[in-house]
């Protein structure tokens, strides 16, 4: 079996192009070979559907190899594919162009490319990992959220925004796991642009499947998915901003009904800022407050300012009585030896890091702690210990304190080899500096007690910055009492921030 399917890229081309091919009953595996120019591969997503209309492969071509495989086992199947029997009949290849980028960056003219389909076996260098997560219906029936990776009670460190070659990063899942070990990560969240991982290599790092819903009016990560959502097709196939607002509203409601966590990414960053301003705040589960801080070297992005605005937004939400968990995301796309132009630090998974104190390490516990807002986001911190006491009992970050609570005791230990952390606390937005001591210049410890003011509602947040005012820590607040929301949409928050 061999056939050649033709497609093209231009400013006037359809966003979605389809072609079909016939598979004989004797076929055991399919190989796809494309000849898209390297500089255009990032503009192209590909979806392959079997005769029953089920998705068997989905991927942004990006920096990947030109040979794509689909077969019975993971060794025959490229990342993004669902291994299994190859059904005889009419298969469909759907090519989806990122037209907003084609319109912006593609010169006048037209580029044609082909995808050759064959049953001749080709060597694969990007095959799926040993752990198969999804079934033929693209449900995560092979992923066990209760699987324990550690029974130790301690602070666990991870990353909530990462990429691989499944979308637009330059490295494979195997390679990013090497980086995760290098950064001492306990958990790693795979969030590709509008495509989802179907499996993963065996690893002792807890890998959480997610997706980054990516549109021209904003990006958001979804955590805790049990299936590929149907709305991903709408996201991929539409560019109209009014229609995208309707789709975003549908996504937010879908997540709320299924208890899937909805996390807005880099809300104020350059070309990728959040523009669906009418989204109700009650639909938002998490907010990415620090996104790839090394991107600050790209001057026109104003990334440092964007991250600081996101931190301010998180505080505004807590002050208004919302419980939206502040988290970090490296959003790393580069190789370990690669730097953004002008950057002195490389972009790598785990910078920033998000920490939780948990009794065991498994996916369900991470999701539970996200919902409880018990996260602490850091940079330059290698080890973290934080204990809070109220009324003689230990309490977690994000805790709701009893109304009778008048004081809060704290103990904090931070290990940072290169930066001296200046600790502070915000009590209803009022800043107090706190003392940390060190005998060796890298292990810093402190403790004390805080008086909680007699106000109807109080939020208390610990944070740290370096001597040079660089971000080092954001611990999600503990609260006491209640307050009525004055803010209801993202636009309301922007007004408070005077944006």
pLDDT score of 298 more than 80? no
Among 34-43, 389-398, 465-474, the range scoring the smallest mean pLDDT is: 34-43
Q: Judge whether residue 276 has pLDDT over 80.
A: yes
Q: Which two tokens stand for residue 39?
A: 């500089």
Share of the chain above pLDDT 90, in %: 88
DSSP state letters, 181-239 = HHTT-SEEEE--BS----EE---SSEEEEEEEEEETTEEEEEES-SB--THHHHHHH--
Residue 219 has pLDDT above 70, yes or no: yes
Q: Mean pLDDT over residues 210-230, rounded?
A: 97
Separation of alpha carbons 229 and 231, rounded Å: 5
* Average pLDDT value for residue range 471-497: 98
- The predicted model scores a pTM of 0.96
**How many residues appear in the chain?**
499
Apex CA 328: angle with CA 323 and CA 330, to 5°?
160
At residue 353, the pLDDT reads 98
For 331-358, the pLDDT digits (tens) are: 998 887 888 877 888 889 999 999 999 9
For the segment 157-165, the average pLDDT, to the nearest whole number, is 97
The sheet carrying 55-60 orders its strands as: 16-23, 89-97, 44-49, 55-60
Which residues, 6 or more positions from 443, have their beta carbon under 8 angstroms from its beta carbon?
Answer: 413, 414, 415
**Angstrom distance (rounded) from CA 155 to CA 357:** 4
Q: What is the 3-state secondary structure (H, E, C) of 121-189?
A: CCCCCCECCCEECCCCCCECCCCCCCCCCECCCEEEEEEEEECCCCCCCCCCHHHHHHHHHHCCCCEEE
Which of residues 481 and 342 earns the better pLDDT score? 481
Residue 404's pLDDT is what?
A: 95
- 318 pLDDT higher than 90: yes
Indicate the DSSP class of residue 495: H
Report whether 138 contacts 347 (CB < 8 A): no
User: What pLDDT does residue 388 have?
Assistant: 98
Per-residue confidence (pLDDT) for residue 295, from 0 to 100: 81
Alpha-carbon distance 51 to 119, whole Å?
16
pLDDT digits (tens, 9 = 90+) for 49-108: 999 999 999 999 999 999 999 999 999 999 999 999 999 999 999 999 987 677 666 677
Q: Domains in the chain, please, with CATH?
A: 2-120 (2.60.120.380), 154-496 (3.20.20.140)
Measured CA distances, 114 to 8, 24, 215, 405, 452 (Å): 8, 21, 26, 68, 67
CA distance 21 to 476: 53
Of the pLDDT bands very low, low, confident and very high (cuts 50, 70, 90), residue 297 is low
**Cis peptide bond upstream of 352, omega within 30:** yes
Question: pLDDT class for 109, splitting at 50, 70, 90?
Answer: confident
- Cα separation, 383 vs 440, whole angstroms: 15
Instruction: Please give the helix or strand (H or E) that residue 113 lies within, else none.
Output: strand 110-118
pLDDT (0 to 100) of residue 335: 84
Give buried/exposed letters for 325-351 (b at 16+ CB in 10 A, else e): bbbbbbbbbbbeeeebeebeeebbbbb
Give the pLDDT confidence of 439-469 residue by residue, as tens digits: 999 999 999 999 999 999 999 999 999 999 9
3-state secondary structure of 120: coil
Q: How sure is the predictor about 302, in pLDDT bands with cuts at 50, 70 and 90?
A: confident
pLDDT in tens, 370-409: 999 999 999 999 999 999 999 999 999 999 999 999 999 9
Using CA atoms, how far apart are residues 426 and 418, in angstroms rounded to an integer?
A: 25
Grouping H, G, I as helix, E, B as strand and the rest as coil, residue 357 is strand
Angle at 83 between CA 232 and CA 116, to 5 degrees: 80
Distance (Å) of CA 165 to CA 64, 66, 395: 6, 12, 40
What is the dihedral sign for C-alpha 341, 344, 350, 354? negative
Percent of the chain topping pLDDT 70: 98
d(CA 281, CA 155): 29
Report residue 471's pLDDT band, with 50, 70 and 90 as the boundaries. Answer: very high
Structure tokens of 56? 């068997």
Can you give the pLDDT at residue 57?
A: 98
**Distance between CA 330 and CA 352 in Å, rounded?**
6
Give the C-alpha distances (Å, rounded to integers) separating 361 from 204, 261, 373, 475: 11, 18, 17, 20
The pLDDT score that the predictor gives to residue 36 is 94
Among 7-11, 421-425, 453-457, which stretch is predicted with the lowest mean pLDDT?
Answer: 7-11
CA geometry: angle at 394 spanning 389 and 400, to 5°?
Answer: 80
Q: What is the mean pLDDT of the chain?
A: 95
């Amino acid at each position: 079996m061999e056939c050649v399917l033709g497609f093209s890229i231009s400013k006037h081309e359809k966003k979605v192009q389809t072609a079909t091919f016939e598979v004989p009953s004797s076929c055991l595996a399919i190989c796809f070979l494309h000849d898209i120019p390297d500089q255009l591969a990032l503009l192209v997503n590909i979806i392959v559907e079997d005769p029953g209309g089920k998705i068997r492969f989905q991927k942004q071509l990006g920096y990947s190899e030109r040979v794509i495989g689909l077969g019975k086992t993971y060794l025959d199947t490229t990342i993004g594919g669902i291994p299994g029997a190859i059904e005889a009949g009419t298969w469909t290849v759907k090519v989806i162009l990122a037209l907003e980028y084609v319109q912006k960056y593609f010169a006048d003219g037209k580029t044609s490319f082909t995808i050759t389909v064959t049953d001749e076996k080709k060597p694969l260098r990007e095959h799926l990992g040993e752990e198969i997560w999804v079934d033929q219906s693209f449900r995560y029936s092979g992923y066990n959220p209760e699987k324990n990776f550690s029974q130790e009670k301690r602070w666990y460190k991870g990353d909530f925004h990462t990429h691989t070659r499944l979308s637009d990063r330059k490295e494979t899942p195997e390679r990013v796991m090497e980086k995760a070990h290098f950064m001492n990560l306990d958990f790693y969240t795979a969030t590709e642009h509008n495509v989802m991982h179907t499996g993963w290599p065996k690893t002792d790092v807890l890998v959480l499947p997610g997706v980054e819903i990516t549109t021209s009016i904003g990006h958001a990560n979804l955590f805790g998915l049990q299936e590929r959502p149907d709305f991903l097709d709408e996201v991929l196939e539409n560019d109209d901003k009014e229609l995208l607002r309707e789709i975003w509203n549908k996504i937010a409601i879908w997540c709320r009904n299924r208890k899937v966590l909805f996390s807005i990414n880099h809300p104020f960053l350059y070309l990728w800022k959040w523009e669906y301003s009418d989204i109700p705040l009650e639909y938002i589960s998490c907010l990415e407050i620090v996104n790839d801080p090394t991107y600050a070297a790209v001057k026109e992005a104003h990334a440092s300012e964007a991250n600081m605005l996101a931190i301010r937004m998180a505080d505004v939400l807590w002050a208004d009585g919302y419980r939206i968990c502040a988290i970090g995301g490296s959003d790393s796309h580069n190789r370990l030896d690669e730097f953004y132009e002008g950057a002195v630090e490389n972009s790598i998974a785990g910078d920033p890091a998000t920490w939780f104190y948990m009794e065991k390490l498994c996916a369900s516990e991470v999701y539970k702690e996200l919902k409880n807002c018990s996260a602490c986001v850091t940079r330059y911190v290698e080890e973290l210990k934080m204990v809070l006491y109220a009324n003689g009992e230990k309490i977690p970050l994000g805790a709701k304190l009893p109304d009778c609570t008048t004081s809060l005791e704290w103990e904090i230990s931070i290990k940072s080899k290169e930066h001296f952390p200046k600790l502070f606390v915000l009590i209803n937005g009022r800043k107090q500096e706190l003392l940390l001591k060190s005998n060796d210049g890298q292990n810093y410890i402190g403790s004390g007690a805080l008086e909680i003011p007699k106000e109807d509602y109080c939020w208390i947040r610990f944070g740290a910055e370096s001597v040079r005012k660089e971000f080092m820590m954001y611990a999600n607040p503990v609260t006491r009492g209640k307050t009525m929301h004055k803010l209801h949409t993202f636009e309301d928050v922007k007004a408070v921030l005077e944006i």
